[in-house]
């Protein structure tokens, strides 16, 4: 096989392992950064409460210039730390002398895997192809097909949008195909969310009925009406659930 015959420091599988290890490390770094940010926020609130109590005891309404300067310095330092923590990082694969060729081989294999309906493996091959060639349009398109087959419509849309952005020489026919694909994926995602919402509401209703049943009531005794102006809901209670009216709570 061409992939196995191509020499180099890393195989596609090893490259994905390195990427996954990097992601795990980044997730841990982000978790620690958020924890540090939360601790800094709590510490700042405690210091502000102490300062307010001190000002109240001293009958002062304006903090001293020294306190203001110190607080401002702390806020600037905290802002600098927060900004550095939010800087986006991206995994950079090690250089490979045959990276471009390997990206083609992996992308070609993903086409065969798609035909065999081995979608997870097809996605992995496209991942490898895009790590070694981040502007490979065909890999984005094929990964989108595999993602769609797994009902990951949002991720599929992101790949098609990226392919459309990169494919600057696309013919009018291909551009129409991109738009058609995006429209189809948007509808599929909308339908998926509607189905999920219906299923979730059904489960919540069943849970509510199981609790209200102890009091001789059910969710049918309650009616939610949305205010078109504010989007908020008012809940009405109808004990008999016959006359369509009730007292609003």
Model pLDDT for residues 31-41, shown as the tens digit of each residue:
999 999 999 99
**Tens-digit pLDDT profile for residues 95-145:** 888 889 999 999 999 999 999 999 999 999 999 999 999 999 999 999 999
Report the distance separating Cα 47 and Cα 61, nearest Å: 16
DSSP per-residue letters across the chain: -HHHHS--S--HHHHHHHHHHHHHHHHHHHHHHHHHHHHHHHHHHHHHHHHHHHHHHTT-SS--HHHHHHHHHHHHHHHHHHHHHHS-----PPP-TTHHHHHHHHHHHHHHHHHTT-HHHHHHHHHHHHHH-TT-HHHHHHHHHHHHHTT-HHHHHHHHHHHHHH-TT--HHHHHHHHHHHHHHHHHHHHHHHHHHHHHHHHHHHHHHHHHGGGT--GGGEEEEE-TTT--EEEEE-SSSSSS--EE-
Looking at residue 248, its pLDDT comes to 41
Give Cα 31 to chain centroid, integer Å.
16
Question: Mean pLDDT for the chain?
Answer: 83
Mean pLDDT of 4-22: 84
Q: What angle do CA 133, 139, 140 make, to 5 degrees?
A: 105
Calculate the dihedral angle through the C-alpha atoms of 212, 213, 215, 219, rounding to the nearest 10 degrees. Answer: 40
Share of the chain above pLDDT 70, in %: 83
Domain limits of the chain?
A: 98-195
Report the distance separating Cα 169 and Cα 175, nearest Å: 10
**Tens-digit pLDDT profile for residues 70-93:** 444 555 554 455 454 455 478 888
pLDDT over 50 at 236, yes or no:
yes
pLDDT over 70 at 148, yes or no:
yes
Looking at residue 221, its pLDDT comes to 78
Residues 6+ apart with CB under 8 A from 99: 8, 93, 132, 133
Q: Check if CATH label 1.25.40.10 holds for domain 98-195.
A: yes
The total number of residues shown for the chain amounts to: 249
pTM over 0.75: no
User: Tokens 């908020």 label which residue?
Assistant: 232
Q: What angle do CA 191, 137, 102 make, to 5 degrees?
A: 120
pLDDT category of residue 9 using cuts at 50, 70 and 90: confident
Pick the closest to residue 51 from 79, 77, 70, 78 (CA basis). Answer: 70
Task: Using the CB atoms, write b or e for 128-147: b if 16+ within 10 Å.
Answer: bbbbbbeebbbbbbbbbbbb
Looking at residue 1, its pLDDT comes to 65
Looking at residue 245, its pLDDT comes to 42
pLDDT over 50 at 175, yes or no:
yes
pLDDT over 80 at 246, yes or no:
no
pLDDT over 50 at 247, yes or no:
no
CB 224 within 8 A of CB 233: yes
Looking at residue 136, its pLDDT comes to 97
pLDDT category of residue 244 using cuts at 50, 70 and 90: very low
């Amino acid at each position: 096989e061409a992939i196995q015959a191509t020499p180099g420091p890393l195989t596609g599988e090893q490259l994905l392992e390195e990427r996954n290890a990097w992601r795990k490390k980044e997730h841990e770094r982000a978790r620690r950064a958020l924890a540090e940010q939360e601790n800094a926020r709590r510490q700042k609130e405690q210091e502000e409460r102490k300062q307010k109590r001190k000002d109240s005891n001293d009958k002062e309404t304006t903090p001293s210039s020294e306190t203001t300067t110190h607080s401002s310095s702390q806020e600037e330092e905290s802002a600098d730390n927060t900004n550095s923590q939010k800087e986006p990082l991206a995994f950079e694969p090690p250089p490979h002398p045959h990276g471009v060729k390997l990206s083609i081989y992996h992308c070609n294999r993903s086409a065969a895997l798609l035909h065999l309906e081995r979608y997870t493996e097809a996605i992995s091959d496209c991942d490898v192809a895009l790590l070694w060639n981040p502007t490979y349009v065909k890999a984005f398109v094929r990964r989108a097909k595999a993602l769609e087959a797994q009902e990951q419509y949002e991720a599929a849309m992101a790949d098609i949008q990226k392919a459309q952005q990169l494919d600057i020489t696309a013919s009018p026919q291909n551009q129409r195909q991109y738009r058609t694909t995006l429209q189809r994926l948007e509808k599929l995602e909308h339908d998926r969310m509607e189905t999920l919402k219906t299923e979730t509401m059904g489960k919540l209703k069943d849970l509510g009925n199981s609790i209200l049943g102890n009091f001789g009531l059910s969710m049918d005794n309650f009616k939610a009406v949305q205010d078109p102006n504010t989007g908020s809901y008012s809940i009405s209670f109808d004990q008999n659930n016959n006359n369509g009216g009730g007292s609003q709570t």
